[in-house]
Amino acid sequence: TFVNGGKTKLLMMAEKRIEEFKKHYQTEDERFVLLPPGIGLDRKYSSVPSGTRERFRRDNQIQPSQFLLLQVGSNFGLKGVDRSLKAIASLPGNIREKVVFMVVGQDSPSKFENEAKKLGIENKVRFSTGRDDISEIMAAADVFLHPAYHENAGIVILEALVSGLPVIVTETCGYSNYVKDANCGVVVPDPYSQDNLNDALVKLLSDEDLKAY
């Protein structure tokens, strides 16, 4: 299907995946059709009712002075929750003490709860199963984390962007280019380095940098 000389048109979700197929199969450019991403209009920050941020934070005991970091997606291992925990643990104490990290998705959290305990940040982390108020959580959050080990596309990355959130994402994610194009966050380059993720999180959680988003 993908080999050079074929006639089949190839519908692709992400530009990054096109480059990979071209590298391995020498597929011709004209055979690829890049599909535009679709996203629910309810995810736009302008669609969220006024006061949602304050109401969600109040109901979940998150103070106005605290940083709410958010990660959404099932399969916590593949999505890089362990990487996020290490980045939070590496924060300077004066910033780390203000952090609340919420992880939402269908997966067993026990392994990552143990990791958070080993890192000494168990009181900073809250795990939740899949829920239907993601747009409200995004409205209440300050930074969206998605340091996945692999992600073919990553629609949740776009949901965070249209919610007005700065995003930290690994370059391996198919939709990481949208973060770069929007200049709304940090793309951690391949090959992955934990230090790069740590530095990106410190940068976004400094008062001056976060106010720019």
195: tokens are 């230090």
Model confidence at 20, pLDDT cuts 50, 70, 90, reads confident
170, 173, 168: which is closest to 191 by C-alpha?
A: 170
How many of the other CB atoms lie within 10 Å of CB of 22? 16
Question: What pLDDT score does 208 carry?
Answer: 64
pLDDT tens per residue across span 27-70:
999 999 988 887 766 666 667 899 999 999 999 999 999 999 99
Residues 98/90, Cβ–Cβ less than 8 Å: no
Model confidence at 213, pLDDT cuts 50, 70, 90, reads very low
Question: What pLDDT score does 137 carry?
Answer: 95
156, 9, 8: which is closest to 79 by C-alpha?
A: 156
pLDDT tens per residue across span 81-99:
999 999 999 999 999 999 9
Q: Please say if the pLDDT value at position 209 is more than 60.
A: no
How many of the other CB atoms lie within 10 Å of CB of 10? 16
Pairing of strands 143-146, 67-72: parallel
pLDDT tens per residue across span 144-202:
999 999 999 999 999 999 999 999 999 999 999 999 999 999 999 999 999 999 999 99
Strand partners, 169: 146, 187
* Average model confidence (pLDDT) across the chain: 92
Question: What pLDDT score does 13 carry?
Answer: 85
| C-alpha to C-alpha distance for 35 and 194, rounded to whole angstroms | 32
Question: What pLDDT score does 212 carry?
Answer: 44
56, 114, 108: which is closest to 85 by C-alpha?
A: 114
Residues 67/203, Cβ–Cβ less than 8 Å: no
